[in-house]
Amino acid sequence: MPDGKIGARAMELLDQLRLTYSVGEPEEVHETFRTLFRHHDATQAYLELGVLFTANPALAARDKELLILRTAWLCGAPIAWGEHVGNGKNAGLTDADIERLTLGSAAAGWSED
């Protein structure tokens, strides 16, 4: 967005994101969301999926982060990877777990789960 503004609809989506994830107002909107906000329908779908996934109690936080990190690794998504390494550690992942994610399910050290 050339003028640095993201527009009214994008601000609504950003407010929804902040409420969903209990995030305060940053001084600037992260470039990932600036890109997403260029396509409001895609952003809405992204937020809806994120809310469903993160709010679903069927998976423990650690397992959710394993899933997110492995997907980010396989997709070559460095921003998602970087954002979720810290989240994974907060959810109980170790440095060894995170390294194993880059190697896949055949790597030594995984539990049966």
For the segment 51-104, what is each residue's pLDDT rounded down to a tens digit? 777 777 788 989 999 999 999 999 998 988 988 999 899 999 999 999 999 998
- Whether residue 8 has pLDDT greater than 70: yes
Q: How far apart are CA 90 and CA 18, in angstroms?
A: 19
Q: What is the DSSP letter of 26?
A: -
Cα gap 81→71, rounded to integer Å: 9
Q: How far apart are alpha carbons 30 and 74 in whole angstroms?
A: 23
In this predicted model, which residue has the larger pLDDT, 70 or 1?
70
Average pLDDT, whole number, for the chain? 81
Token pair recorded at residue 36: 């997403």
Length of the chain: 113
Q: What is the pTM of this model?
A: 0.69
Which residue carries 């396989």 as its tokens?
74
C-beta of residue 14 within 8 angstroms of C-beta of residue 33: yes
